[in-house]
Amino acid sequence: MKKFTLAVFLDHELNIGGNFQQSLNNIFLAKKLETLDYKVITITTKKNNIKILKGLNIDCILFNQNIISRILIDLRESLPNYIYKILCIFSKKNILERFLDKLQVDLLYFVSQSPYASYVHSINYIYTLFDLCHRDNPEFPEVRHNRIFEFRETVFQKNLPRATAVLVDSELGKKNVINRYRLDDNRVHIFPFRNSIFLDNNDKLKILDNNDEYIDIKKKYNLKSDYIFYPAQFWAHKNHFYILEALNILQKEKDLSIAVIFSGSDQGNLSYIKNMTKKFKLENKVRFAGFVSSNEIKYLYLQSIALVMPTYFGPTNIPPLEAFKLGVPVFYPDLPGLREQVGDAGLLLNLKDPRSLVNNLKKIFNSEQLKNSLIENGKARYNSLTLDDTNFKILKNIIDNFKFKRKTWK
C-alpha cells in the first residue's frame, strides 16, 4: 500500500533572512514524520536552496518554471469560471498540479506564506501565515507601493479559506486572521516561531558557512565602545531611524558612549538611514554589516550589550528568541502582541519616544543586577516559547485527521 505523501514546499531564498530560517525549522519538523511511516518530500522553486538543503541532509526537488509557463499559469487562474470549466475539458490541471501528481502528493505543506497556493486546486494544503502586517500597518511603503497590499489581500483571500489548516505565530495572529478572513476557529492553529537552527547546531553551521571560527566583532568593525545589535533588513517598518534618534540624544548628553551594528540587506531604505547617520554625525557610532553569515550573527549577538529591535511589525519575531537563547538582553516595542512575546524578559520601548531607548540603555549600564535578571528571564522565556514537541503534535494531528478524509477518493 502506498505511503501517505506530504510535500513540503519552499519558495524563499536564504537572503530573505527570518522567513527562510523559519521555513527551515518547519522543514525539519515535517521531516520527523518520516519516523511515523509518512513519506515526506521537499520541493523548492529556488536552485540555490538545493545545495543548502543537501548539505543539511535533505533531498530536494526543483520545481522550475520558465517565464512562458508562469504567464500561462497566471492566465489560467485569471479566466472567468465558465471559460475555466471549458478549458478543464481539454486540460484538467495546470503545470504545478501535474508536477505534484507525478510525485503522488496527498497533502501539500507551504512552510511560508506562498503565492503558489493560488495554483493548487486538486490537492489539499496546509498554509503557513507569518503575519498580517499589511493590515496592521498599511502606511509603510513596503506594503503600500507597487500594489503589494492588493497582492497580499488577493493571495490571502483566495488561499486561506481553502486551506485544510492555517498555521499562525500567536494568539493575536489567530484572532486577526479569523476576524479578517472569516476562517473557522478549528482550522487555525498557533504554531510559534523558533530561533535559527544554526544557533542550535554547530555542525549545521559549518555546512552553511564552511566555518565556525571566533570573530572579534569590535576589532572587525573598528569600534572603540560597546554596541547594541539590530539584525533586520532595511525596510521602513524595521525602524532603524529610532535607534539613530536615541544615539543622537546620547551623543549630545555625552554621558554614555554606545555604538550600533545593523546587519541585513537593503530593501529600499538603506540610503535614507545612511543619510540620516551623516545628518546626525554618527558615522563613528554606526556600522552597516550587510547580510552576514550565520556564524558571524552568533558573535554579533554574543558580544553586544543588547538586542534592540524597534520594529512595527509582528506580533512575533525571531531575533528576540535568538537573543534569549544566547543570553543577550532584549529591548522590544511596547505594542500589542509584541510586548506579549517578551513578557518580563525584555525592556519595552515607546516607539513614539526615542528617549525610552536612552533610558533603558542607561538602566542596564547602571545595574548589573537588572542585566543579569533580563538574561535569566530571557532563558526561561526561551524555554517556554520554543515548543518543538507541541508544534510537532499540532502538525501530526492535522495530517492524521486529513488522512482519514483522504481515503475516500482516488
Q: What is the pLDDT of residue 200?
A: 59
39-44: strand order across its sheet: 60-62, 39-44, 5-10, 107-110, 124-128, 165-168, 188-190
Residues 160 and 176 in one domain: yes
Confidence label for 57 from pLDDT (cuts 50, 70 and 90): confident
**Mean predicted confidence (pLDDT) in 20-35:** 86
**Mean predicted confidence (pLDDT) in 19-31:** 84
pLDDT at 87 over 70: yes
Residues 293 and 399 in one domain: no
Count of the separate structural domains present in the chain = 2
* Residue bearing the bigger pLDDT, 45 or 19: 45
The residue segments making up the domain with residue 257 are 212-385
Neighbouring C-beta atoms of residue 219, cutoff 10 Å: 8
In a domain, 280, yes or no: yes
Cα–Cα distances in Å, from 291 out to 14, 263, 265, 294?
A: 10, 6, 5, 10
Confidence label for 210 from pLDDT (cuts 50, 70 and 90): low
**Mean predicted confidence (pLDDT) in 244-263:** 94
**Looking at residue 19, which CATH number applies to its domain?**
3.40.50.2000
Residues 225 and 277 in one domain: yes
Confidence label for 207 from pLDDT (cuts 50, 70 and 90): very low
> How far is the C-alpha of 191 from the C-alpha of 147, rounded, in Å?
29
In a domain, 203, yes or no: no
Residues above pLDDT 90, as percent of the chain = 62
> Residue 391 corresponds to which amino acid?
N
**Mean predicted confidence (pLDDT) in 120-146:** 93
Residues 170 and 263 in one domain: no
Residues 230 and 353 in one domain: yes
In a domain, 340, yes or no: yes
In a domain, 149, yes or no: yes
Residues 295 and 180 in one domain: no
Residues 82 and 229 in one domain: no
Residues 49 and 177 in one domain: yes
In a domain, 204, yes or no: no
99-126 b/e (C-beta count within 10 Å ≥ 16 → b): bbeeeebbbbbbbbbbebbbbbeeebbb
Contact (CB, 8 A) for 267 and 234: yes
Q: What is the pLDDT of residue 190?
A: 93
Cell numbers for 405 = 478524509
Residues 331 and 269 in one domain: yes
Residues 111 and 53 in one domain: yes
In a domain, 207, yes or no: no
In a domain, 373, yes or no: yes
Mean pLDDT of the chain: 89
Residues 186 and 289 in one domain: no
Residues 223 and 140 in one domain: no
Q: What is the pTM for the complete model shown?
A: 0.87
In a domain, 198, yes or no: no
pLDDT at 86 over 90: no
Surface-to-core class of residue 4, CB atoms within 10 Å of its CB (0-12 exposed, 13-18 middle, 19+ buried) = buried
Summarize pLDDT for 275-327 with one digit per residue, the tens.
Answer: 999 999 999 999 999 988 878 898 999 999 999 999 999 888 989 999 999 99
Which three-class secondary structure string do you get for the chain?
Answer: CCCCEEEEEECCCHHHCHHHHHHHHHHHHHHHHHHHCCEEEEEECCHHHHHHHHHCCCCEEECCCCHHHHHHHHHHHHCCHHHHHHHHHHCCCCHHHHHHHHCCCCEEEECCCCHHHHHCCCCEEEEECCCCHHHHCCCCHHHCHHHHHHHHHHHHHHHCCCCCEEEECCHHHHHHHHHHHCCCHHHEEECCCCCCHHHCCHHHHHHHHCCCCCCCHHHHCCCCCEEEEEECCECHHHCHHHHHHHHHHHHHHCCCCEEEEEECCECCCHHHHHHHHHHCCCCCCEEEEECCCHHHHHHHHHCCCEEECCCCCCCCCCHHHHHHHHCCCEEEECCCCHHHHHHHHEEEECCCCCHHHHHHHHHHHHCHHHHHHHHHHHHHHHHHHCCHHHHHHHHHHHHHHHHHHHCCCC
